[in-house]
């Protein structure tokens, strides 16, 4: 296990279906679904996967989190501090529901797109605080153990951003190089009779 020192905000998308609901009693409209599912392997590139551990969001939901449209900070759908975004974890993952502002045409348009099924996926923006890395030779895997969560988004195209993939590839290369260097040092010591 290691703690990362990177300050690059990560974006991960989840190919899950979002749903709308309307409260008949109040007339309020909501968009809700899972922003992250625990212990599910997501392919970053062939031979490289990542998963989110059930404890990853422990403590993170106390912060002021926003719900955005396609990670656009100008299109805020809701916010935990305002009580218009509810986030919680359960045995499946990170679930959220945002209350739609009927006076916000962007929010109402998105609600209708989700309602029709034109937009049905999600993503979340975060910093990795703690993670585990595994290399079994033919594939590599990261398990995200703890995050600093900034936002969740309803998105049109869920995908890893190019910067996230590049950061992961660079990290994997660095870890493999360090492992190889450590193995070389250990082998040299053995050959010299120092171990």
Count the neighbouring beta carbons within 10 Å of the beta carbon of residue 22.
13
CA-CA distance, 5 to 35, in Å (whole number)? Answer: 24
**Residue 176, in any domain of the structure:** no
**Residue 192, in any domain of the structure:** no
Q: According to the model, what pLDDT value does residue 5 have? A: 41
DSSP SS3 for 116: helix
**Residue 168, in any domain of the structure:** no
Across 72-81, 103-112, 114-123, least confident range:
114-123
Under a CB-based contact definition with an 8 Å cutoff, are residues 150 and 45 in contact? Answer: no
- pTM exceeding the 0.75 threshold for the entire prediction: yes
**Residue 170, in any domain of the structure:** no
**Residue 178, in any domain of the structure:** no
Give the 3-state secondary structure percentages of the chain, helix then strand then coil, rounded to 5.
Answer: 25, 45, 35
pLDDT per position as a tens digit, 80-98: 999 999 999 999 999 999 9
**Residue 174, in any domain of the structure:** no
**Residue 30, in any domain of the structure:** yes
pLDDT per position as a tens digit, 131-150: 999 988 888 899 999 999 99
Per the structure, how many domains does the chain have? 1
Domain, as residue range, for 126: 2-161
Sheet holding 29-37, edge to edge: 19-22, 29-37, 93-99, 85-89
CA-CA distance, 153 to 124, in Å (whole number)? Answer: 6
CA-CA distance, 68 to 175, in Å (whole number)? Answer: 34
**Residue 148, in any domain of the structure:** yes
């Amino acid at each position: 296990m290691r703690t990362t020192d990177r300050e690059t905000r990560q974006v991960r998308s989840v190919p899950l279906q979002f749903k709308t609901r309307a409260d008949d009693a109040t007339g309020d409209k909501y968009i809700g679904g899972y922003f992250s599912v625990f212990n599910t392997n997501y392919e970053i590139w062939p031979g490289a996967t990542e998963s989110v551990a059930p404890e990853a969001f422990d403590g993170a939901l106390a912060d002021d989190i926003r719900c955005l449209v396609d990670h656009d900070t100008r299109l805020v759908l809701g916010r935990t501090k305002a009580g218009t975004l509810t986030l919680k974890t359960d045995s499946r993952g990170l679930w959220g529901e945002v209350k739609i502002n009927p006076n916000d045409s962007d929010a109402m348009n998105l609600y209708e797109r989700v309602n029709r099924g034109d937009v049905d996926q999600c993503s979340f923006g975060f910093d990795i605080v703690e993670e585990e890395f595994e290399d079994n030779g033919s594939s590599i895997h990261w398990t995200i153990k703890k995050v600093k969560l900034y936002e969740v988004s309803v998105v049109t195209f869920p995908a890893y951003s190019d910067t996230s993939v590049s950061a992961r590839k660079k990290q994997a290369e660095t870890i493999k190089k360090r492992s190889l260097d450590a193995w070389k040092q250990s082998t040299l010591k053995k050959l010299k009779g120092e171990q």
